[in-house]
Structure 1
């Protein structure tokens, strides 16, 4: 397995945190959170690995979104 860069590790860490957060949502709406999260990551899959500024921005944006959606008051998400 190749070594991952710091940004790649950060992206994987954010992805795992999102998966864990999805598991805490109500069972009937959990699939919506998985779909939304997956789409957000797939949107940027083809991003150039050398575009550090954009990647860092997207990681910060994703962390803010995760913080919002982790809130117990958020029980569903539009997909």
Structure 2
């Protein structure tokens, strides 16, 4: 199955976040349900995730709350 560009971006961000989160202590886990055809929400969450990843990647960040 071929992945679209958006799907590749989501998977790439997910893998990067998992790598960064292993470096920090665990706080909480939550999940949300999103329709796979709701591109506006997916793109918004991708932008938000990229911003959070940049923040979490900073060496000065010790905890994720």
- Shorter-chain TM-score bucket reads 0.7 to 0.9
Which structure 1 residue ranges, 5 or more long, are not aligned? Answer: none
How many residue pairs are counted as aligned between the two chains? 65
| RMSD (Å), alpha carbons | 1.9
Report SS of the residue matched to 1:19. Answer: helix
Q: TM-score, normalised by structure 1?
A: 0.67
| Aligned: 1:62 with 2:45 | no
Q: TM-score, normalised by structure 2?
A: 0.78
Greater share of helix residues, 1 or 2? Answer: 1
